[in-house]
Structure formats: structure tokens, C-alpha cells
């Protein structure tokens, strides 16, 4: 398998050089958000067919992201990459508009990657650069964990050449978060078996699976070189705790009455066919609101990345303690 991986990396590398040149020259890159506030925002968009993953996957997907980062940080800051999960590719309530990728004329891609703005802003205020990447085309073509992992790697390689960001980001301190099936993607990317696929200079130091259905068992996703955190939603069928395999260590919190969708503000409001509240226990008393679940995500992930990317051991008490107003169960492994 190693020779094939090397071939794959060479093929991807050629594409990365082209895309990196575009990013380095500013093509497809928006200017940083004007202002004097603590958080700056920049976006880049290299198109709906900028990513593919030969020879195992012949679909195409976008290379698009929004980046929140501390405007006035001294020195390079740790990086957190956010990856959404499976959702319709095109932003329309009309099923006929969702039958192709790229989306039909006049129909925009589903903005799943924008659903974590609340989390990205909070992390950036605390000194992290946060990259939320779009994977709508990958969803349309039903990409699996390897493609999701390779898409993350593509973005990291591009950011290493990004003329505005490359001198702000510390790629030796990278954390990741995968929501829903994105959880398996980030676990695959950080897994011991796939460390050789990471871009040179990138070190993954903390991995979060958020409301993930758990490992599919098709891929090796065992991560022993960095702590992991698993956040499960009790009112949604999920088995994210199965990421804790032999020699894996980290933290697990179960939101006992939690909703899978509420961690993403776009999925909370629609118009996707599976948006809003889940259907497994909608009448259960005492369920947390979307705002409460998003507050928990900020509280918990901020502590996790402080611990794993900044070495702040005082954050462990947050990872193992109670969260006001939301029923949870916690485990340290």
C-alpha cells in the first residue's frame, strides 16, 4: 500500500502546487474583514471542482473556506480545522435543485461550513485561527473518510502558501473537529496509520468527533499520538465512543438529551430535508435548546483546544466537570 500512497501524494502534490499558486497570488481569496475588532475574517474560494482524489475517488468537490483569526496576535497561533458532515449539496427546498454538482444555475451550495461561525469566533477570540471548510460536492458524491481527510490536508497545504495567513499560523499545533460523519474524517486524518499522508510540517495535537455516528469499521481510525474528545448526542443514534480503541486517550461527554443538528446553525434552520430537530425523542422533557448546545460546544471545545494546543492543564477541570443547564455524562479515558 505504501507505493500507492506515494503515487497518490505525488498526484495530489501537483494539484496543490497549482492551487497554492492561486492562493499565493490572491486569486479566489477575499480580503480580510475590515475593522479593528479582535477577530478578523478572510475567505478563499477556488471553485466547485478544485478538489478530487485519484485514483480511488473520481468525484469533484469545492475548495472553499472561511477563516477566523485573532487580528492582533503576537506570533503564530495554533490552528483549528472544522469539517461538517453529510448534508444535501445545494441550498434549496426543491428536490429537483439538489440533483447535480455543481449546483444548477441560480442555486447556491449548501452553506454547511458557515454553521460553525459562533464557535470559530469564540475560538479566535481566545487566540486560535479557525478554518471551516466546505465539502458540499464531496457530500453529493458520497465521499468517505479518506476523501474527507485528504480534503483537510489539501486545505492545510494551501494555507501553508496563503500570502495573508501563512505567517500567522502554527502548523505544528493543529486541532481538528468533525461533525457527524465528518468525525470519521478527522479521525482518519489523524490516525496512526495515515500520519504519512499529512502535509510536511503539520502535526495534529487534538481531534474532536462531534455528534458522530462513530467509526464505520471500513477504515483504520485509531489515534494514539494525540488526545481525542468525543461529544455524543443522546437523542440521535450515534456510537462515537467507539473511537476509544486500544491505547487511545482523551475525553468523552454525552449530552444525554442532545440533538445532532443543533451544533450547526445552518442545519438548525434549513432548508435541508433533514434539518431542525431530530425525530428520535422530540417530546422528551428537558431537552437543550440549540443555543444551549452551541454554548456547550464553545465551552467544551475551547477547553479541549486550550489543553491540547496550548498546553493549559487547568482546562482539564472543564473537560471533566459539569455544564450548567444541560444534562451530561462525562468520561476521561
pLDDT score for 191: 98
- Write out the H or E segment, with its range, that includes residue 254: strand 250-255
Q: Phi and psi for 73 in degrees, rounded to 5?
A: -65, 145
Q: How far apart are CA 93 and CA 89, in angstroms?
A: 11
Contact between 81 and 131 (Cβ < 8 Å): yes
126 or 93: whose pLDDT is higher? 126
pLDDT score for 10: 38
State yes or no: pLDDT of 24 exceeds 80: no
Task: Return the domain boundaries, the chain.
Answer: 2-332
For the chain, how long is the longest CA-to-CA vector? Answer: 55
- Write out the H or E segment, with its range, that includes residue 196: none
Q: How far apart are CA 110 and CA 127, in angstroms?
A: 29
C-alpha cell at 220: 483504520
pLDDT score for 278: 66
pLDDT score for 97: 84
pLDDT in tens, 73-92: 999 999 999 999 999 999 88
| 63 DSSP 8-state letter | -
pLDDT in tens, 103-132: 999 999 999 999 999 999 999 999 999 999
pLDDT score for 283: 73
Tell me how far apart the terminal alpha carbons of the chain are, to the nearest angstrom. Answer: 32
Average pLDDT over residues 20-39: 69
pTM of the model: 0.91
State yes or no: pLDDT of 183 exceeds 60: yes
State yes or no: pLDDT of 1 exceeds 50: no
| pLDDT classification of 2: cutoffs 50, 70, 90 | very low
Domain 2-332 has CATH 3.40.50.1820: yes
- Of the listed ranges 156-160, 224-228, 258-262, 283-287, the one predicted with least confidence: 283-287
State yes or no: pLDDT of 133 exceeds 60: yes
Q: How far apart are CA 247 and CA 241, in angstroms?
A: 14
Amino acid at each position: 500500500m505504501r507505493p500507492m500512497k506515494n503515487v497518490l501524494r505525488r498526484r495530489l502534490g501537483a494539484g496543490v502546487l497549482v492551487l497554492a499558486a492561486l492562493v499565493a497570488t490572491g486569486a479566489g481569496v477575499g480580503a480580510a474583514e475590515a475593522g479593528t475588532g479582535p477577530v478578523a475574517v478572510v475567505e478563499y474560494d477556488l471553485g466547485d471542482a478544485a478538489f478530487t482524489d485519484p485514483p480511488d475517488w473520481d468525484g469533484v468537490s469545492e475548495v472553499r473556506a472561511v477563516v477566523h483569526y485573532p487580528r492582533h496576535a503576537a506570533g503564530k497561533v495554533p490552528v483549528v480545522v472544522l469539517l461538517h458532515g453529510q448534508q444535501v449539496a445545494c441550498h434549496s427546498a426543491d428536490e429537483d435543485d439538489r440533483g447535480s454538482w455543481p449546483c444548477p444555475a441560480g442555486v447556491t451550495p449548501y452553506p454547511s461550513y458557515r454553521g460553525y461561525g459562533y464557535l470559530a469566533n469564540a475560538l479566535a477570540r481566545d487566540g486560535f485561527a479557525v478554518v471551516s471548510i466546505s465539502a458540499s460536492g464531496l457530500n453529493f458524491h458520497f465521499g468517505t473518510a479518506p476523501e474527507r481527510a485528504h480534503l483537510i490536508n489539501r486545505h492545510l497545504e494551501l494555507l501553508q502558501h496563503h500570502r495573508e495567513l501563512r505567517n500567522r499560523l502554527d502548523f505544528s499545533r493543529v486541532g481538528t473537529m468533525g461533525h457527524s460523519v465528518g468525525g470519521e474524517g478527522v479521525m482518519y486524518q489523524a490516525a496512526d496509520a495515515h500520519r504519512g499522508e499529512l502535509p510536511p510540517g503539520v502535526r495534529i495535537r487534538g481531534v474532536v468527533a462531534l455528534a458522530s455516528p462513530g467509526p464505520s469499521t471500513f477504515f483504520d481510525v485509531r489515534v494514539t499520538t494525540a488526545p481525542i474528545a468525543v461529544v455524543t448526542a443522546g437523542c440521535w443514534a450515534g456510537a462515537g465512543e467507539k473511537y476509544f480503541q486500544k491505547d487511545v486517550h482523551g475525553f468523552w461527554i454525552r449530552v444525554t438529551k442532545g440533538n445532532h443538528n443543533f451544533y450547526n446553525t445552518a442545519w438548525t434552520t434549513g432548508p435541508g430535508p433533514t434539518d431542525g430537530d431530530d425525530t428520535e425523542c422530540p417530546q422528551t422533557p428537558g431537552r437543550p435548546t440549540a443555543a444551549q448546545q452551541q454554548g456547550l460546544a464553545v465551552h467544551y471545545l475551547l477547553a479541549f483546544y486550550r489543553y491540547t494546543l496550548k498546553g493549559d492543564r487547568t482546562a482539564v477541570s472543564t473537560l471533566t466537570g459539569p455544564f450548567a443547564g444541560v444534562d451530561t455524562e462525562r468520561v476521561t479515558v
